[in-house]
Chains A and B, each alone.
Chain A
């Protein structure tokens, strides 16, 4: 990665010592950052106005972005090392942590404060409107549907992903085919929600009765002589069918993590249970489940956060039509279709408030696992 490029900071120092004098130092201290800046600026202009073939632009963009970041650290470190000893010690830590803090401030901290502030203002961010946007959020029928759907996502998505993941992990461990099965079930994790939505739109594809059915589900129905169903347009069932996609994608995640936890169940305990004549189900209920329970909770909360913020799947499957909206798709609509920044901000704040307790709990779990 960029590591190899960074190991060049000795060379310029040699040059500085050769120049020796204080004046030389000052001149070079000025020249180096200016040159670095000019190089980056030229790269920016090239990328902005590029007429070159796409592949050239892409390569330049990658080199410029990655190299530029490295260069900024090299130059700022080099400058700080020119400072007298005590100042060097004071400034250097901020060369290391400064860029991260600056980016986090600009991209998360300040926007969070601005969004909270804007959620109490009107569509253009001008007039103070008190709690109107929140009142809207909890009375508007579309929003109420979206909140109901998010609850469905939260409960069903989380329970089924985690439950199936656990079931598959337990079963696969007793099968000789565990590697293959686990790979196949984990694979959807690599596929984007947009890609997954396309896969499943095709499964749910519907043609009027009498025409050839090309969707798998309606194909199966028509082979039994049952009339084809329009799966994605009937509220509230359509939301359940869309949740299937999340379960398809996340059960593999749950399976892999729970499978690692199952390896931690002591064999002696299982043996002892079997000698005492416990059935496999009793062993699962009384020995396995209590041992892996903390991991089950961690997996469930992780998926719960995902369901609260779910956006891509719904946007690709139905665009939020037919009563399938969730909070995140309505928020997107308020921002980019209605340009109502006040309501959009209020919805974002509602998401933040919904996610925070789960996330906080998750972080505590994560720390106690010592990762």
Chain B
């Protein structure tokens, strides 16, 4: 744990300025506005909880870590423009905490274009394959498990309890397609194909009707549905599925933003759990309730101590209602763990960290204990740190670990 002291906390910043000797700038393009703003904001808050504590104690090798924040609203074109801006900013040491597949997929060619500058993308909040495979895999380092692993785990568990007819509800873009491909591959290993599919457009709000999508899937009589989407649309689908009589397990992958979705589904309802009985969400970090893990204890302590507010100095693409934060969430825990590992990598680079030394420092991470119950290793052929997938269901007002699939869904 980083000990506390009275140094001013780190803040996100958005103005370009020359490199400073006493700080390391991480460039961030993420969703800080729009229907998926909860993801970018919570990821940022988790990282800031760690960086604030770190900076109050003198930073890493005497340097404070700050984030240069740009909003892309979870839209590809702004993300490309932001990435170019960050790449052209000499003070930016590396790219960090990007959010989303459609955004990252479009930003990767920018990294390749500027490859001479040796700026790498660290720990994007997406489990898609493009930043894990050629031709762009060499420009990114991932910490979380992939969608392929998440969807494979969901499919394997559903098949194990006899739910073999699996349909997919997905966001009709690169993210949705990535998850769809994962489900397809996993089902093929069991000799099955996708039982049915329905799509929605990125940016769909919770207030939108998903009746058309539910009706398409009802016709296919699936045993379970795997959703590859963001919390607003997936929440709307879960709501309409229950209302229209589709009473089967509805699974979501980690990107969904579990707490944000749960809030939408429970807000203002007489029976808060009327639409959550069938939910099962996969996660790529352990439960933030599992205080047996050192990283979770540290996370809870830092979040309680700093309670980082949403970034207030970002030029947002769209304005909306003030964002209501969560004391803890899977997304902010992921942001916290991301911050912890990037700090360790920078620490290993010594007093004068250079971009040219980043890759070597990452590859030197072997069997590193992050405190999440799984050791982290990187290498030229291993650009993803964690492999484990966790499964959670709703109990009361939170997601808790799913212990027994058979008892819950058989």
A binds B: no
Binding site for B on A (CB under 8 A): none
